[in-house]
Structures are given as structure tokens and as C-alpha cells.
Structure 1
Amino acid sequence: MNQMLVSLLPVFILLGTGVLIRKFSILSGEAIDGLKTIIIKIALPSALFLAFAQADMGIENFWIFLLVFLLCAVLYIIGGLLHTALPGLFPDEYTNGYFTGFEFGMIGIGLFTAIWGMERLPTIAMIASGHEVFIWFVYAPILTSRKTGSIKIDRILKDFFRTPTTIAIFLGFLMNVLHVFPEISSVIAGQALIHSLEMISGVLAPLILFIIGYSISFKKIPLKKSLVLILSRWFFVLILGFGLLHLIKIFLSVDEFFQLAFYAFILLPPPFILPLYMKEDRPAEISFYSELLIYYTLISFAGYVVLMSVI
């Protein structure tokens, strides 16, 4: 219990600090936008590069990559089926976009490293690798096509290779599979570079938690619709996630921390990029999902408290 409090209390203190920063106008919205830029373009890519460069990408873990990719695909299909079969409960066109994906970048990394430390990040990064491929090469292109009416492969590749986070993932993965990272780590210049990236990554968790706290506004959104969406996503994610983990444990050798990291991964909220891909002529839907994601994030934090108390 004491160790759980030691790990969790700093998270809630940092969240509360973010709330106070907004309440007392300590930082302006422009300053917060500047912090977001530092996270997205510098701190997050640094952490992702180190995580994917050091993650276990052995052939055995290819099956984890594939199964997590399929989990995301199945959740997307379930969201679409619910919208088609039960339009009264799931009226929004973007129900499938909400049902799948996990906010690994802006929430997962910050929350995971704040609780379990940066040195544990490669474990959840290995779990998330199939998810990242799904998001950038399936999820984002499909939502873009629904918004613009077409899928442009060249645009997808351009977006992938000009986004700092995806570049970092690609380079880290490349160095991993080519076994270059140990070579870099063996020379002084490489050690200095890695240490610099570790120092930059160290600011990621507190900055993310500050910004989440700052973003909490508790704007009113339809209660019934919100509960239906939150509870139904949790139901399908947890049922499928538990089943998938059981399957992994049967066929692959995974340790207890891998299981904890997997639970931590599936507890994450839907992708924060969802509102950005919605059609501009749906302002009410965009506003609703933007707020819903904040509420879901807070419930995810509660899920982490439960996770730490039972495992």
C-alpha cells in the first residue's frame, strides 16, 4: 500500500498543480501551447526513440505486435457494428473511431513512466508497436478519407515521415532490428547522446500531467450518451484485452511486469487525435468527443489506481 501511494500521489499532485495553474492563471493558454510543442516535437520523440530502440523486438514478440494490431482492428469493427445496429444508443458516425486505439503518446508514456519509471518504458513500447502501425497506416488514413473523400498513399507517407514522433519510432525500431543501438552505446559520443535524450525524456511525465490537469474543465456533456460510450468501450476493451492476454500467456513466455504493462496499455483512453479527423461540419460532435476524452482520461487514472491495488 505504501509503495502504491508513493507511486500514485505524485501523479495526482502534478494533475492538481495543472488545475491550479489554470485556476490562478499562472500560465497563459499560449504558454501551455508552447509546452505542448516541446512535448510533441522534442520530449515525446526522445522517449519514443529510446523506448523502441531498447524494446525486445525478437521474432517471438512479432506475434504480440500482430495480435495488438488485430485487437485495434476488431475494436474498430465493433464500433461500426454498434453504430449500425443500435443507432439510438450509438448515433455518431465516428463511434468506430472512438472505440479503437489508445492514447499511448500523450497519456500512456507520461502516466506509465511517472509510476514505473523511464527504464520500464521499452516493455509497454513493445506492446504498443502494433497499435502505432494501426493508428498511422489504418486509423488515420480511414478517418482522413471520410473527411476528404479519398486516400492518398503519398500523403500518408509524407505525414508519417515528417511527424517527429513517428520519425522517432521508425529510427528507434530501425536501430533495434539492425542492432545498432548497442554499438552507439559503446562509444563516448553515443553515450552522451543517449544521456541527453534521457534527460530530455525526464521532463515528459510532469509536463504531460500538468497539461492534463490544466485541460480539465468539466464542461457539461450529455450524461446518458457519455455513460453508454464509456461503459461500452470499457466492456469490449477489457473483455477482448483479457482474452488476448490469456492467449499470449498460453503461447508465449511473458513475465508479470509484461502483464501489468498490457493492462496499463488497454486502460488508456481513445486517441486524442480523433476530434482532429472529424468533419468540420460536425462542431457539436467534435466538441462532445473532445470533452468525453478528458472524462475518459480521468476514469483511466482511476483504472490505474485499481490496477496497482490488485497486481
Structure 2
Amino acid sequence: MITHLFASLPVLLFFGLGYVLKRIGFFSRETIEDIKKFILNFSVPALLFRAFLSLSIQRSYLIMLLVMYVMAGSMVLLGKLVAKIANIRTPYFPLLMSGFEMSMFGYALFISLYGIENLGYIAFLGIGQTLFTFSFLISMLLVLREGKQAPMAAVKRFFTSPIILAIGAGVLAGQVAPPFDSTPTLAMVDSFLQMLGSVTVPLITMTIGYDILIEKKGLGLSFMTILTRKGLLLIFALLINHYIIDGLLHMDSMYRYSMMIIALTPPSFIHSILARRGDAENIGYINRTLSLDCIISVFATMIVAAVYV
């Protein structure tokens, strides 16, 4: 437990730093948004490109893409069932059951616990839920906001995403390109990408700390949302680890740890970005839930990493 606490301590300190910088007005909101754009368009793609460059993926492992996709979709359906039983009226409750903020949260926590050299494991498992996010989740959020969604827009979003492009380029380069240390030029490129990716964790965790916003009003529903989501996802993760990752595919143990981190990761921040304009009640609910989930996820991840072997 102590080992994982110290491994996660820099993440907690950067959370705190971001929060303090907000309180003293060090960064403007515009600056934080620009930092997020840099993270999503440059530093995270650099991380993922290098992670997939050397990751060895067996063909049999590709079934995990379908498994993760189905899990993400099932969470929305289960969310609708829980909302009906508990008489929860907000349409965002079932959508907050799905979507995983890997780029701006999960990867940073994983790296702090298991090292950047193992990032490819969790990035591979994350592809399936990313497919679900681009193909269905974003479309459902846009339907709530605008009442309609063009089918081709989802396809365009997917194929123009820097995250998807970086993963595809990394896989392709790993198969056809010479090793990046084989020539001075390639070594220079690799060094540049490594430095570019190295700023990801501190920048991500600082911006999350800056965005933390928790109000007393509506905390009960936010807590219920988080506990329902984490409880269901932990059940999914344990079943997938036992029956598929260990039992069927006999995958490396790092995939099991990756599955647990994904299960504990907060919902995608895209929920907040695409919330219905002018809907103050639901926007407050979403932002409060995301902020609270970020805090809970850090400590839950530390505990699970310490006891789950």
C-alpha cells in the first residue's frame, strides 16, 4: 500500500498545485483550455505512438476490442435500468455510466503506478471503448443537445481524431519501420517524441486540479452515479479478467491491472463539453459528478493497485 501511495503522490501533488493555481488566479480559463488542446493534440498522441510502436499484439487479443465495446454499451443499458428503478429523471445518468477519460486521466494514473513502459497495455484495451465513444456516445450526447446527429459526422470524428491517428501510426510504424534507434535521425525523432510525451502527466493532473468544482447541492445524485458506475464496472472488470484475459486468452498480467484502472477511471469529460446549452441543472450535475469522481478515482485506484495482484 505504501509503495502505491508514494507512486501516486506526485499525481496528488499536481492536483493540489492545479487547485492552488486556480485559487490565486495564476492561469486564466483560456490558458487552461489551450493547455488541454496541446495535451490532446500533441503530448498524448506522442505517448500513444511510442507505446504502440513496440507493443506486440497477438491476433487472438483482438477479441478484447469487441469485449470492451460491448462493456461500454452495456453500461448505458444498465444505467437506463437503474434510472428507471430509482426514478432518476436526468437523461445524462445512463450516459455517465459509460465513456472513460483515458487521455486526460486514466493514462496519467496508470503511468504513475505501472510506468510509462507499460502504457501500451492499457492503451490497447482502451481502443474498444474509444470506438464506442466515437460511434455512439458522442452521437447520443449530441442528440440530447441538438436533437439530431448526422451519421457521417461520427465517422469523420473517428478518423480525424489525433488519438486514433497516433495509435494507427504507431502500430503501422512498429510493423514496417526500422527500429527508432537504428539511425541518428530516427533516434532524434524518438527523443523528441519522448520529451513531448513526458509533459503529459504533469499537465493533465494540473489541469484536472484546476477544474475541480464540488458544490453541496445535488451531491447525493452525484455520489449515487459514481458508486453505481464503479460497482458495475468493477464487476465487469473482475469477470473479464477471470474468464477472458486469464482464462481464455492467457494474457500478460499487466492487462488485468489495466482493466482495473479502466474500470475506476471517471467518465469522459466529453459529457461536460457536449452538455445541452443553457441546461444549468444538468451541466451542474455532470461537472459536479466528474469532479467528485476524479478525486474518488485517485484513492480507489491506489487501494485496488495495492490489493489486486
TM-score by length of 1: 0.91
- Asked whether the 8 Å contact 2:40–2:162 carries over to 1, the reply is yes
TM-score by length of 2: 0.91
**3-state secondary structure, aligned to 2:15:** helix
Tell me which of 75, 90, 105 is aligned to 2:103.
105
Tell me which of 121, 124, 132 is aligned to 1:123.
121
- Within 1, Cα distance between the matches of 2:104 and 2:153? 24
- Within 1, Cα distance between the matches of 2:127 and 2:3? 29
Following superposition, the deviation at residue 189 of structure 1 comes to: 2.3
Residue 227 of structure 2: aligned partner: 231
User: How many residue pairs were aligned?
Assistant: 307
- Within 1, Cα distance between the matches of 2:180 and 2:153? 33
- Within 2, Cα distance between the matches of 1:219 and 1:227? 12
Residue 258 of structure 1: aligned partner: 255
Residue 298 of structure 1: aligned partner: 295
**3-state secondary structure, aligned to 2:140:** helix
- Within 2, Cα distance between the matches of 1:221 and 1:59? 49
**3-state secondary structure, aligned to 2:214:** coil
- Within 2, Cα distance between the matches of 1:295 and 1:39? 22
In structure 2, do the counterparts of structure 1 residues 22 and 281 end up closer, same or farther at CA, with 3 Å as the change threshold?
closer
Structure 2 gap ranges (5+): none
Residue 79 of structure 2: aligned partner: 79
Check if 1:275 corresponds to 2:269: no
Following superposition, the deviation at residue 211 of structure 1 comes to: 1.0
Query: Alpha-carbon deviations, 1:225-253, whole Å to 9, x = none?
Result: 12221111122111122112111111111
Query: Alpha-carbon deviations, 1:93-151, whole Å to 9, x = none?
Result: 12221011211111011221233221110011111111111111222223323433434
- Asked whether the 8 Å contact 1:275–1:290 carries over to 2, the reply is yes
Residue 51 of structure 1: aligned partner: 51
Structure 1 gap ranges (5+): none
- Within 1, Cα distance between the matches of 2:147 and 2:121? 38
The residue type paired with residue 282 of structure 2 is E
Residue 189 of structure 1: aligned partner: 185
In structure 2, do the counterparts of structure 1 residues 14 and 291 end up closer, same or farther at CA, with 3 Å as the change threshold?
same
TM alignment of 1:1-311, pairs within 5 A: 1-83=1-83, 85-86=84-85, 88=87, 90-176=88-174, 179-183=175-179, 186-248=182-244, 249-311=246-308
In structure 2, do the counterparts of structure 1 residues 182 and 3 end up closer, same or farther at CA, with 3 Å as the change threshold?
farther
In structure 2, do the counterparts of structure 1 residues 80 and 53 end up closer, same or farther at CA, with 3 Å as the change threshold?
farther
- Within 1, Cα distance between the matches of 2:90 and 2:172? 39
- Asked whether the 8 Å contact 1:221–1:291 carries over to 2, the reply is no
- Asked whether the 8 Å contact 2:5–2:302 carries over to 1, the reply is no
**3-state secondary structure, aligned to 2:14:** helix
